């Protein structure tokens, strides 16, 4: 089963996580879980790939909602601003403001409900499309769009209140 379905499962995972090492680890875990639950599999006229990809989707969601999967968001290099700014002081000011903004957003994210956090993480950090996010979250695309809108509105209010208090 592993040799026959590994490539399909790996391709589905690597497309979502965009990290080959993580995709390899999750692919292995899919087959471990499948083996543990093989007696629960019932043929429904679909390929076993569908069952394996469902396990993969759940593993990906579990991975990103666990505390060990905290992600660091890379920032631009200082040199990127040098083209646009007239002096080093402006460059440093832009860098400090960007760092403060990242911190405020990072502090506000845990205040969102878990579904909103997951939606924003998948859409903006993982850069999944709305349909891909819907599949991972087990929702309809319109529900993901609505959830994303509510999450962004809540995040905006949290950031505004944080900056108003800090100002």
127, pLDDT greater than 70? yes
Residue 6 is predicted with a pLDDT of: 93
Taking only the tens place, the pLDDT of each residue in 52-98 is 988 898 888 888 776 454 554 454 444 444 444 455 666 666 666 66
Residue predicted with more confidence, 112 or 165: 112
Tens of pLDDT, residues 12-51: 999 888 889 899 999 999 999 988 888 777 777 777 888 8
Cα 65 off chain centre by: 9
Single out the residue of 59, 66, 35 nearest to residue 48, CA to CA.
35
Distance CA 69, CA 23 (A): 13
Name the pTM for this structure. Answer: 0.44
Domains of the chain: residue spans and CATH: 2-69 (1.10.1740.10), 79-166 (1.10.10.10)
């Amino acid at each position: 089963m592993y040799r026959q379905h590994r490539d399909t499962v790996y391709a589905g995972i690597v497309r979502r996580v965009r990290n080959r090492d993580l995709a390899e680890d999750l692919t292995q875990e899919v087959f471990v879980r499948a083996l543990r639950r093989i007696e629960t599999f019932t043929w429904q006229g679909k390929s076993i790939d569908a069952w394996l990809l469902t396990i993969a989707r759940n593993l990906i969601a579990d991975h990103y909602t666990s505390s060990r999967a905290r992600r660091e968001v890379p920032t631009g290099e200082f040199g990127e601003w040098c083209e646009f700014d007239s002096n080093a002081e402006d460059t440093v000011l832009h860098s400090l403001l960007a760092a403060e903004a990242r911190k405020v957003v990072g502090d506000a994210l845990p205040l969102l409900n878990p579904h909103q956090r997951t939606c924003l993480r998948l859409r903006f950090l993982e850069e999944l499309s709305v349909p891909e996010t819907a599949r991972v979250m087990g929702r309809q695309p319109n529900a993901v769009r609505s959830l994303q809108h509510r999450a962004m509105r809540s995040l905006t209010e949290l950031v505004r209140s944080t900056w108003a208090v800090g100002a």
